[in-house]
Structure 1
Amino acid sequence: MLKKIIPFLLFASLLIHCKKEKTIVLSVANYSEIINQQFTGDLAFETTSFVEKYWRVAGNTGFNKTIYKIANDLEKAGFILEENANVNAMLTYRIEKRPLKNPTWESVDATLTINNEKTPLLQHSTNRNMIALNSYSTPKQGITAEVIHIEDIKKLSTLDVKGKIVFAETSPYRIFKTAIIEGKAAGLITYNNPDYLQPEKNTTSIQFRSIPLDTINKPWAIALSFAAKERLKKSLEEGKVILNVNIETNIYPSEELTIIADIKGNEIPKERLVFSAHIQEPGANDNATGVGVALEMASLTAKFIHKKEFQPKRTLTFLWGDEIISTRRYVKEDSIRAKNIKWGISLDMVGENTAKTGGVFLIEKMPDPSAIWTRGNDKHSEWGGSKMRLEQMKPHYLNDFLIDKFKAQGKRANWLVSTNPFEGGSDHVPFLQNNIPSVLFWHFTDQFYHTDNDRIDKVSKTTLKNVGITSLIAAYTLLNADENTAKTMIANLEKTAVHRLNEELKQSEIALHRGDSLSTQVAIITAWKDWYKKSFSTTLDLVSNKQSIEKEITSAHELMDSIAAIITNQLQKKRKKTALVAKINLEF
């Protein structure tokens, strides 16, 4: 009996094994399910942990080690160095090297001591942002000098600061010329943490600062935490203060490295989606998280391709380098390549533990009318944004397409997702400046933004996963987009546009009640109508046969015109009614 059972068990085991090894082909129908299962966040978090150990500037030790770690992990995933790859290779990478115009910089150590007190005012081991970027080393014994507190920086030019340490509550850049070049001060000590960092709560945080590179005077500057600033001011109130400053930095010639990985499309390889993640910055969330998420996205995609589970029609590119500089070069140095970059996405501060940092995950939209008239649920972050003009608008389906994907993941994972009007300041800007649709994924407000308390304990592996998962879902959808994708996108865009116009009607009614002009409200409605009409038309870039979706686009345009006309008419009636009520009240 046992002899009969054993062959049966072996056969059953073989069937189970074959079932487990069955190839699952990824498609629009299962992107979310499969990627949610496969994207673990392990590589993203491990990479973030590695990168955040270093204070990173282009060309310095930490920056370059990050580049070569990425290269090593890409090779583990199956990417081939471009110069060694044949023309049929789907997975390639390259490291671009360029001489730096200026030398690179890195901090090594520093201590700041008041009046020879036993406990330092600051030390590099606990505050690695204390040394301003481009500061030179002091002599080995340090510099000992009197501190002068400049309470009114307008008076700085009238004071004798030669050989003394200037202390002011402002940016070191702002007083550098007056104090160092003209005043011959021994050095600078400054404090200017903005309110959104909650300095009275996060008393040890220092937001990193910089001074101009000066190879002649070889200056230095120290940035203070709130606690150190208060302690120094208290000492100054008690009398003359002598500080000993000991700084060690490295400033040396180097080269700028950028690493670019390509996953070649099998049908329209010239067309591409580019994810950009900058390496420089001193923190964990900013931007070791972007580096880590991009690396796991590239590695998982390579895994799907090796297992023949996913084949992109268009090319997927990942770029790691120096913020804005590397991305700008990528979209400018090759005009033919730039012409075929269909989308650019910036991964910046994408792994936050918001219970610790505050804020929320944000999609910074391409310029739309909310960047001109910011009202209702649209709000700028505390990073801030300037009011834009109509001619600066960038109508495109990308905004609402990505918002829809991230909101769906938010619902699935109980994860809060929000948006903000365009503000700029990251790798999405060079794309937009070259008329390439682009958005920013980030978090704000972050109470540890650019401070030396932005460390790995502020990073959430769950957030890294959610951002990476949704970014891949969106990317795969765009890379393999066709006529059906375009039609679905138009239908979803219609719903969003109708909701937006109705929301703007509500906001306009509130504005009219406040006494705002009817002409302004009509202009707002018209701007949104036009923005969406143009956005519908941009879906034509997803199809080879434009006639296949012209009917849907025309219908969407007509719907926008109709709704906008109804809203305008309703607002005009509202204004007349308001004016009539005001007249009656005046007569009585």
Structure 2
Amino acid sequence: MLKKIVAFLLVSILIINCKKEGEVVILSTDNYSDVINKEFTGDLAYETTAFVEKYWRVVGNTGFNESVFNIAKNLEKAGFILEEKATESNLLTYRIEKRPLKRSTWESVNANVKIKGDATYLLEHATNRNMIALNSYSTPEKGIEADVVYIKDVKNLAKTDVKGKIVFAETSPYRIFKTAIIDGKAAGILTYNNPDYLQPEKNKTSIQFRSIPLDTVHKPWAIALSFEAKERLKKSLEKGKVTLNVNVETKIYPSEELTIVADIKGTERPKERLVFSAHIQEPGANDNATGVGVALEMASLTAKFIKEKSYNPKRTLTFLWGDEIVSTRRYVQEDSIRAKNIKWGISLDMVGENTDKTGGVFLIEKMPDPSAIWTRGNDKHTEWGGSKMSLDQMKPHYLNDFLINKFKAQGKLANWQVSTNPFEGGSDHVPFLRENIPSVLFWHFTDQFYHTDNDRIDKVSKTTLKNVGTTALIAAYTLLNADAKTAKSIINEIETAAKNRLNEELKQSKIAINNNQSLETQIEIITAWNNWYQKSIETTTDLVINKNDITKEIDRSKKLIDSISKTIIFKLTKN
């Protein structure tokens, strides 16, 4: 009898386990983190990054277009259907938009530079693929042989005879292009100007990519030097006249601009959408093959959840891959009705760094808030820098603190460092913001390999790709299916953030006053933050159909924040 009971229990356990394995797990705010952390492996993101980073990508060239076709292939594999073949019932669709380029595209093919008489190359394309300045033409088939003229002070360039010679200067090639090539009729340009944050004396072979104007008349070329090559050339010049042999091979040809857009259609409010934008052009791995890869795995995993019927987005989720700023700007400007319903835009740019190698920390670049005017305390601009803003440029919205909280939670879970920086601009979040669409940037900085030919796949971390993609999806799913409950939760988050910020600003204002800064300025800062959070809380109404569902929570929270602000100002005036 005991044997029969044991056997029955074993069979029952097997049946129960089999049932659990076959069950569909329905995603909700309660399990987004658990499920997505398990399902988002980073494998596809990494594989895509490795594919894209092989190419030096300019809109319209082979590498750019091959990246687009690779994205399309993987989207179809995930279940997306080409838009022109789709029916109304298809939730997963994509399209490739094609537009003729007004100007020719460009590709680097090969190059080398040798000091006449030396046995080894000064530079060669095989190891320094950024050495050819964008828009350079090819030299004659056998190359060019010419003497070097070192221009120590670019102010003296116009006074120097450089006709038929190679101009060498420590500045941007764009800065001296007209004076050297058009006016001076130089044979070509050599430049060096790697910024300090690249640590050039440590990363001696790095070259940060450069460009010159596309000039179909003079058909010029320019070479960017590494620190090592620059030092070697200068030492040779110290000994006397230097003649260089320069070979450059590029392709310049008419092409078309491709943009790929994937839509995951919302089932209840399909016109409302969240857009993730990842630009394809740039020659590096982290910049921005990683953004391309993370977006693709996010889209593919979401397709898997939808096909399994474990996730049902109420609003539309869109992924956009194209030319940085250009494609995103067009997307938000060419269709005013579509733009009106874009509720959030997020830029994925440099999102996969191995920070042990690059030095850059993961950052959320916030929408313009008062930290972009008064940057103090824990707020810091990156080496990229930002221009000081004014109060009328502020963009109060819950998106900042909502995303910061989601990423901080993932950081705690995964032992991953997450930080923020005040608004600086320069990526795909800018076109959204200019159209008053809430938008932030996910990125890494300061990166010692930024825009250099050492930004390769070995500087990419699959773990970082996973952390960024996972958290971005958790946040996206929460927003796409947001309702009154979500709105109330976000109001509480903003309230907590406001309390913390105002108390930190009290601390910073006391320090400022002790350093003889004016009380009036401190009151202005506290008031600005109070107003920013008041208006941010009000924006949560876009999460609900009926604003009355959250009116009480909004009013209560605004009164509390205003009270804290007034108390702080009172304390400052009493000191």
2: distance between equivalents of 1:18 and 1:258? 44
2: distance between equivalents of 1:105 and 1:170? 23
2: distance between equivalents of 1:169 and 1:303? 52
1: distance between equivalents of 2:326 and 2:153? 36
Determine the structure 2 residue equivalent to 1:47: 48
Change (3 A) 1:495 1:132: same
Shift of 1:9: 7.3
Deviations 1:509-532 (A, max 9, x none): 000000000100000000000000
The answer on 1:193 being equivalent to 2:212 is no
Deviations 1:63-105 (A, max 9, x none): 0000000000000000000000001110000000000010000
Three-state SS of the structure 2 residue aligned to 1:236 is helix
Letter in 2 for 1:300: L
Determine the structure 2 residue equivalent to 1:141: 142
Determine the structure 1 residue equivalent to 2:555: 554
Shift of 1:157: 0.4
Determine the structure 2 residue equivalent to 1:586: none
Deviations 1:216-271 (A, max 9, x none): 10000000000000000000000100000000000000000000000000000000
Letter in 2 for 1:500: R
Change (3 A) 1:305 1:136: same
Unpaired runs of 5+ residues, structure 1, are 575-588
Shift of 1:150: 0.1
The two structures, once aligned, show a CA RMSD in angstroms of: 1.4
Deviations 1:309-364 (A, max 9, x none): 00000000000000000000000000000000000000000000000000200000
Shift of 1:12: 5.8
1: distance between equivalents of 2:407 and 2:5? 54
Alignment map for 1:137-536 (pairs within 5 Å) = 137-536=138-537
Three-state SS of the structure 2 residue aligned to 1:512 is helix
1: distance between equivalents of 2:499 and 2:490? 14
Change (3 A) 1:6 1:29: closer
Residues 204 and 227 in structure 1, CA contact (< 8 A), matched pair in contact too = yes
Determine the structure 2 residue equivalent to 1:579: none
2: distance between equivalents of 1:312 and 1:557? 31
Determine the structure 1 residue equivalent to 2:110: 109
The answer on 1:119 being equivalent to 2:129 is no
Change (3 A) 1:3 1:484: closer
Shift of 1:116: 3.5
Residues 272 and 340 in structure 1, CA contact (< 8 A), matched pair in contact too = yes
Shift of 1:54: 0.3
2: distance between equivalents of 1:46 and 1:453? 19
Letter in 2 for 1:346: S
Change (3 A) 1:3 1:75: farther
Three-state SS of the structure 1 residue aligned to 2:469 is helix
Shift of 1:16: 2.9
Letter in 2 for 1:73: N
Unpaired runs of 5+ residues, structure 2, are none
Deviations 1:97-150 (A, max 9, x none): 000010000100000000141100000000000000000000110000000000
2: distance between equivalents of 1:119 and 1:180? 28
1: distance between equivalents of 2:540 and 2:11? 53
Three-state SS of the structure 1 residue aligned to 2:181 is helix
Shift of 1:13: 4.5
Letter in 1 for 2:28: S
1: distance between equivalents of 2:223 and 2:10? 72
Determine the structure 2 residue equivalent to 1:580: none
1: distance between equivalents of 2:461 and 2:52? 15
Q: Percent identity?
A: 75
Determine the structure 2 residue equivalent to 1:578: none
Residues 116 and 244 in structure 1, CA contact (< 8 A), matched pair in contact too = no
Deviations 1:536-560 (A, max 9, x none): 0000000001011011111111112
2: distance between equivalents of 1:370 and 1:11? 61
Under a length normalisation based on structure 2, what TM-score does the superposition of the two structures give? 0.98
1: distance between equivalents of 2:551 and 2:6? 64
Letter in 2 for 1:18: K
2: distance between equivalents of 1:465 and 1:495? 28
Under a length normalisation based on structure 1, what TM-score does the superposition of the two structures give? 0.96
Determine the structure 2 residue equivalent to 1:91: 92
Deviations 1:23-55 (A, max 9, x none): 100000000000000000000000000000000
